[in-house]
Amino acid sequence: MKFNTKTIHGGQKPDPAYGAVMPPIYQTSTYVQTTPGGHKGFAYSRTHNPTRQALENAFASLENGEFGLAFGSGLAAIDAVMKLLKPGDEVISTNDLYGGTYRLFTKIFESFGIKFHFIGMHNAANIENYINTNTKLIWVETPTNPMMNIIDIVATSKIAKKHNVLLAIDNTFATPYLQRPLDLGADIVMHSATKYLGGHSDLVMGALVVKEKALADRLYFIQNASGAICGPQDAFLALRGIKTLHIRMQRHCENGKAVAEYLVTHPKIEKVYWPGFENHPNHDIAKSQMRDFGGMISFVAKGNNFNEAIKIIENLKIFTLAESLGGVESLAGHPASMTHASIPKEEREKIGVVDSLIRLSVGIEDEEDLINDLKQALA
Q: Whose CA is closest to 50, among 65, 40, 59, 60?
A: 40
For residue 88, pLDDT beyond 90: yes
Alpha helix (H) ranges present in 21-171? 50-62, 74-82, 99-103, 153-162
Residues 46, 83, 218, 243: which is the catalytic one?
Answer: 46
In this structure, which amino acid lies at residue 248?
Answer: R
Q: Which of these is catalytic: 6, 79, 98, 248?
A: 98
* pLDDT at position 37 over 90: no
* pLDDT computed for residue 17 by the predictor: 85
Q: If we measure between CA atoms, which residue out of 340, 341, 322, 343 comes closest to residue 331?
A: 322
Determine which helix (DSSP H) or strand (DSSP E) holds 300, and give its type and residue range: strand 296-301
Distance CA 27, CA 208 (A): 23
Give dist(CA 88, CA 64) in Å, integer. Answer: 33
pLDDT digits (tens, 9 = 90+) for 251-290: 999 999 999 999 999 999 999 999 999 999 999 999 999 9
Known catalytic membership, residue 46:
yes
> What's the rounded Cα separation, in Å, for the pair 379 and 374?
8
Q: Is 195 known to be catalytic?
A: yes
> How much of the chain, in percent, has pLDDT values that exceed 70?
100
Number of helices (H) and strands (E) in the chain: give both, helices first. Answer: 13, 12
Q: Which domains does the chain have, with CATH numbers?
A: 3-242 (3.40.640.10), 246-378 (3.90.1150.10)
pLDDT tens for each residue of 332-370: 999 999 988 888 888 898 889 999 999 999 999 999 999
Query: Of these residues, 79, 96, 152, 170, which one is catalytic?
Result: 170
Report pLDDT digits (tens) over 129-160. 999 999 999 999 999 999 999 999 999 999 99
Q: Which of 195, 211, 248, 359 is catalytic?
A: 195
Which residues face 30 on adjacent strands?
44
CA distance 257 to 124: 27
Q: What is the pLDDT of residue 317?
A: 98
Dihedral, CA of residue 140, residue 141, residue 142 and residue 148, to nearest 10: -130
Per-chain mean pLDDT for the chain: 96
